[in-house]
Amino acid sequence: MPFKEDFISEKDLRKKTIISFLVFIICIALAIFGWKWLHKQPDEYGTAKPLRKVLNYNGGFFSNFFSNDHLAKTYPVSAAVHHVRVNGSDGMSAGFDASAWKLKVARSEGDTLFVTLDEIKALPKTEIVFDFKCIEGWSQVTHWGGVKFSDFAKKYNLTTQTQMNYVGLVTPDKGYYVGIDMPAIMHPQTLLCYEMNGKPLPMNQGYPLRLIIPVKYGIKHLKRIGSIFFSNERPPDFWFERGYDYYSGL
């Protein structure tokens, strides 16, 4: 059958053009109005309240799909970079006495455990090579070694503690701190890490002990852990207070 063109009258064309233009103007006006409205809303932890609501909702939504069987992609050791980027240094003040360091674990009110680096190194070692992702937009395949947090928790009988909702980790000077939901800290790829590229962690990478948590963005990988505590409420979180997502899952 021969192709039949649909003709549109001059009048209809003008009408369609005017309607399209009006829709365009309305969209622009809504965008400007919406933007102004958003910026008039009160802040909640460093961002406008409606945005904070969306972040919290997304975190809750994606946590439904979290599973210990969902592993971050791993790579052969040969894929790991030798020059590992050093990003943040909050909470890593000068004058830190590494020789006197012990990991402080607050099991409960008045029950605090102190663990030395040698005691941590005596636990089964796990290595991981994965793509470390920073919220700023860069990523790097890097190689880490340490003890699984879940193995550590088992060894130190943190059974009732790990039934709570969150873990808080804080640097010795309290200048950087993160809160992690319990399923993520107990994930089989989450490490209390003391090695990078098969050698002790360099000072600026968090010596003597840092967190490596491949299911989260870089902001949660706290360097130079001083103390750990457990809580049912969200522990304070450095970047959350500055407008970022609390969950920060990948």
Ligand X SMILES: Nc1nc2c(c(=O)[nH]1)N[C@H]1C(S)=C(S)[C@@H](COP(=O)(O)O)O[C@H]1N2
Distance of alpha carbon 248 from alpha carbon 244, whole angstroms: 8
Site for ligand X in 214-233 (CB under 6 A): 218-219, 221-224
Q: Name the binder of 190 from ligand X, Mo ion, none, CB < 5-8 A by kind.
A: none
Q: Name the binder of 223 from ligand X, Mo ion, none, CB < 5-8 A by kind.
A: ligand X
DSSP 198: T
User: Is 134 or 164 the residue whose CB approaches Mo ion more closely?
Assistant: 134
User: Is 147 or 219 the residue whose CB approaches ligand X more closely?
Assistant: 219
List C-alpha distances in Å: 246 to 41, 66, 76, 96, 106.
20, 15, 31, 28, 22
Q: How many residues bind ligand X (CB under 6 A)?
A: 18
User: Is 182 or 211 the residue whose CB approaches ligand X more closely?
Assistant: 211
Q: Which two tokens stand for residue 187?
A: 């994930």
Site string for ligand X, 32-71 (x = CB under 6 A): ----------------------------------------
Site string for ligand X, 149-188 (x = CB under 6 A): ----------------------x----x------------
Q: Is 218 in the site for Mo ion (CB under 5 A)?
A: yes
Q: Which two tokens stand for residue 161?
A: 């503690």
| Residue 242 and residue 52 in contact, taking contact as beta carbons nearer than 8 Å | no
Stretch that binds ligand X, among 1-9, 20-28, 60-68, 81-89 (CB under 6 A): 81-89
Give the E-state strand segments of the chain in sequence order: 43-44, 47-48, 103-108, 111-115, 126-133, 139-148, 166-170, 177-181, 191-196, 199-200, 210-212, 227-231
Helix (H), strand (E), coil (C) string for 12-53: HHHHHHHHHHHHHHHHHHHHHHHHHHHHHCCEECCEEHHHHH
Distance of alpha carbon 152 from alpha carbon 147, whole angstroms: 7
User: Is 218 or 249 the residue whose CB approaches ligand X more closely?
Assistant: 218
Q: Is 131 in the site for Mo ion (CB under 5 A)?
A: no
Stretch that binds Mo ion, among 5-13, 111-119, 132-140, 203-211 (CB under 5 A): 132-140
Residues that bind ligand X (CB under 6 A): 85-92, 134, 171, 176, 205, 218-219, 221-224
